[in-house]
Chain A
Amino acid sequence: MKIDKTLPLEYQTEENSNRIFGFWIFLGAEIVLFSTLFAVYFTLWTRSGTGPSAAEIFQIKPVLLETFLLLTSSFTCGLAIHAMRLGMKKPFMTFMAITLLLGLGFLGIEIYEFVTYVHEGATLQTSAFLSSLFVLLGTHGAHVTMGLLWGSGIMIQTQREGFTHDTANKSFIFSLYWHFLDVVWIFIFSFVYLKGLM
Chain B
Amino acid sequence: MKWDEFFVTGEPMIYGAMASIVLVSLAILVGLTYFKKWGYLWREWLTTVDHKKIGIMYILSALVMLFRGGVDALMMRTQLAGPDMKFLDAQHYNEVFTTHGIIMILFMAMPFIIGLMNVVIPLQIGARDVAFPRLNAVSFWLFFSGAMLFNISFVIGGSPDAGWTAYFPLASLELSPTVGNNFYSIALQIAGIGTLMTGVNFIVTILKMRAPGMKLMRMPMFTWSVLITCVIIVFAFPVLTVALALMMFDRMFGAQFFTMANGGMDMLWANLFWVWGHPEVYIVVLPAFGIYSEIISTFSRKNLYGYKSMVISMVAISLLSFLVWAHHFYTMGHGAMVNGFFSVTTMAIAIPTGVKIFNWLFTLHKGRIQFTTPMLYSLAFIPIFTIGGVTGVMLAMASADYQYHNTMFLVAHFHYVLIPGTVFAVIAGMYYWFPKLFGFRLNERLGKLAFWLIAICFNVTFLPLFFLGLKGMTRRMYTYSASTGFGPLNLLATIGSIGLAIGFAVLVYSIYWSFRYEPRDTTSDPWDARTLEWATHSPVPEYNFAVTPNVKSLDAFWFWKKDKQPLFEDKIEEIHMPNNNGQPFVLGVIFFFFGFFMIFSWWTPAIISGIAIVVMLAVRSFERDHGRHISVKEINKTEQQLRGDKA
A188 CB, nearest partner CB in chain B, Å: 15
B396 CB, nearest partner CB in chain A, Å: 24
- Asked whether A22 lies within 8 Å of B272 as measured between CB atoms, the reply is no
- Asked whether B624 lies within 8 Å of A127 as measured between CB atoms, the reply is no
A125 to B263, CA, bound (A): 11
Given A49-B262, A50-B262, answer yes or no on A153-B253 (Cβ-Cβ < 8 Å).
Answer: no
- Asked whether A124 lies within 8 Å of B238 as measured between CB atoms, the reply is no
Question: Could you say which residues of chain A place their CB within 8 Å of the CB of B237?
Answer: 29
Q: How many A-B residue pairs have CB under 8 A?
A: 120
B-side interface size class: 35 or more
A156 to B621, CA, bound (A): 11
Question: Could you say which residues of chain B place their CB within 8 Å of the CB of A131?
Answer: 246, 249-250, 255-257, 264
Report which of B209, B236, B253, B621 forms a contact with A157, defined as CB distance below 8 A: B621
Question: Could you say which residues of chain A place their CB within 8 Å of the CB of B261?
Answer: 49
Chain A proximity mask over B91-106: 1 for CB below 8 Å, otherwise 0: 0000000000000000
- Asked whether B256 lies within 8 Å of A128 as measured between CB atoms, the reply is yes
- Chain B: which residue is nearest A14 at the CB level? B208
Question: Could you say which residues of chain B place their CB within 8 Å of the CB of A50?
Answer: 262
- Asked whether A157 lies within 8 Å of B131 as measured between CB atoms, the reply is no
Given A43-B268, A131-B255, answer yes or no on A33-B238 (Cβ-Cβ < 8 Å).
Answer: yes
Given A149-B614, A157-B622, answer yes or no on A128-B264 (Cβ-Cβ < 8 Å).
Answer: yes
- Asked whether B621 lies within 8 Å of A125 as measured between CB atoms, the reply is no
- A-side binding surface: helix, strand, loop or mixed? helix
The stretch of B195-203, B341-349, B521-529 in contact with A is B195-203
A183 to B204, CA, bound (A): 24
- Asked whether B239 lies within 8 Å of A128 as measured between CB atoms, the reply is no
Residue A129 at the B interface, CB < 8 A? yes
Residue B132 at the A interface, CB < 8 A? yes
Question: Could you say which residues of chain A place their CB within 8 Å of the CB of B246?
Answer: 40, 131, 135
- Chain A: which residue is nearest B576 at the CB level? A1
Question: Could you say which residues of chain B place their CB within 8 Å of the CB of A19?
Answer: 132
Question: Could you say which residues of chain B place their CB within 8 Å of the CB of A26?
Answer: 200
- Asked whether A125 lies within 8 Å of B255 as measured between CB atoms, the reply is yes
- Asked whether B241 lies within 8 Å of A40 as measured between CB atoms, the reply is no
Chain B proximity mask over A1-40: 1 for CB below 8 Å, otherwise 0: 1000000000000100111011001101110110011001
Given A124-B249, A128-B257, A157-B622, answer yes or no on A18-B239 (Cβ-Cβ < 8 Å).
Answer: no
Residue A72 at the B interface, CB < 8 A? no
A129 to B283, CA, bound (A): 33
A32 to B275, CA, bound (A): 11
- B-side binding surface: helix, strand, loop or mixed? helix
Residue A104 at the B interface, CB < 8 A? no
Residue A132 at the B interface, CB < 8 A? yes
A129 to B268, CA, bound (A): 13
A49 to B257, CA, bound (A): 12
- Asked whether B204 lies within 8 Å of A125 as measured between CB atoms, the reply is no
Given A21-B204, A40-B246, A170-B621, answer yes or no on A124-B131 (Cβ-Cβ < 8 Å).
Answer: no
Given A21-B208, A40-B272, A170-B621, answer yes or no on A29-B234 (Cβ-Cβ < 8 Å).
Answer: yes
Residue B175 at the A interface, CB < 8 A? no
Given A29-B196, A125-B255, answer yes or no on A40-B268 (Cβ-Cβ < 8 Å).
Answer: yes
Question: Could you say which residues of chain B place their CB within 8 Å of the CB of A135?
Answer: 245-246, 249, 255
Question: Could you say which residues of chain A place their CB within 8 Å of the CB of B272?
Answer: 36, 40
Given A47-B263, A51-B262, answer yes or no on A18-B235 (Cβ-Cβ < 8 Å).
Answer: no
A-side interface size class: 35 or more
Question: Could you say which residues of chain A place their CB within 8 Å of the CB of B614?
Answer: 149
B259 CB, nearest partner CB in chain A, Å: 7
Report which of B203, B243, B249, B254 forms a contact with A25, defined as CB distance below 8 A: B203
Given A18-B204, A33-B242, answer yes or no on A49-B263 (Cβ-Cβ < 8 Å).
Answer: yes
Report which of B196, B238, B245, B259 forms a contact with A128, defined as CB distance below 8 A: B259
Residue B265 at the A interface, CB < 8 A? yes
Residue A166 at the B interface, CB < 8 A? yes
Report which of A44, A130, A149 forms a contact with B268, defined as CB distance below 8 A: A44
A51 to B259, CA, bound (A): 15
- Asked whether B621 lies within 8 Å of A25 as measured between CB atoms, the reply is no
Question: Could you say which residues of chain A place their CB within 8 Å of the CB of B239?
Answer: 32-33, 36
Chain B proximity mask over A125-150: 1 for CB below 8 Å, otherwise 0: 11111111011000000000000011
Question: Could you say which residues of chain A place their CB within 8 Å of the CB of B256?
Answer: 49, 125-128, 130-131
Given A124-B253, A131-B256, answer yes or no on A48-B263 (Cβ-Cβ < 8 Å).
Answer: yes
Across the A-B interface, the 5 shortest Cβ-Cβ residue pairs: A47-B263, A128-B263, A49-B262, A33-B238, A131-B255
Could you write out 17 A-B pairs with CB less than 8 Å apart? A17-B208, A18-B204, A21-B207, A21-B208, A22-B201, A26-B200, A29-B196, A33-B241, A40-B268, A44-B268, A47-B263, A50-B262, A125-B256, A131-B256, A132-B257, A149-B614, A153-B622
| Additional 10 contacts, C-beta under 8 A, given A22-B200, A32-B234, A124-B255 | A18-B208, A25-B200, A29-B234, A36-B243, A40-B272, A44-B265, A47-B265, A124-B254, A128-B265, A153-B622
Residues on B lying within 8 angstroms of A by beta carbon are 131-132, 196, 199-201, 203-204, 207-209, 234-239, 241-243, 245-246, 249-250, 253-257, 259, 261-265, 268, 272, 275, 576, 614, 618, 621-622, 624, 626
